[in-house]
Amino acid sequence: MDKSTVIKSDHDGTTLELSDRDGDHYRVALNGPNFHGVCSVYAYEPASHLSAYFRDMATSWRGWQGKKEWASLEGEFALSATIDSTGHISLSVRLRSGSYPYDWTLSVVLLLEAGSLDQVARKVERFIEYDHAA
């Protein structure tokens, strides 16, 4: 059970961090060489949907067709993953501060290797389980 988890891009070290899980909210941060963005995600739906998304990718590590997509209930955090024939996963991450036109949006792509998906899925599962054990 982890208080936070970090997923790191193999391309440039950009990180996606999930932390501060407290009931119906958790914090998501994107950190890169030239940017930093943080938002609070409302997780009214079972948080297991997020861990199931990563587990599905890990189970399909040999490849899948099209995009695997997931978004939080209010759309402040969204993921979209594609895989190429060499096992490189492009994980597009989008954070939004709100749903109004004047709110900010931060989008990045993390490069992951198919061989790391099981470890990533386990890290997300431990993060999701943390709140239930506390």
Q: Answer yes or no: are the C-beta atoms of 18 and 127 closer than 8 Å.
A: yes
Which domains, from first to last, does the chain contain? 5-133 (2.30.31)
Cα separation, 71 vs 93, in Å, equals 10
pLDDT at 132 over 80: no
Mean pLDDT of 117-122: 97
pTM of the model: 0.91
Band the pLDDT of 116: cuts 50, 70, 90.
very high
pLDDT at 20 over 70: yes
Q: 72 versus 47: which is more confidently predicted? A: 72
Give the pLDDT score at 15. Answer: 98
**Residue 9 φ/ψ region, left for φ over 0, alpha for ψ in the -120 to 50 degree band, beta for the rest:** beta
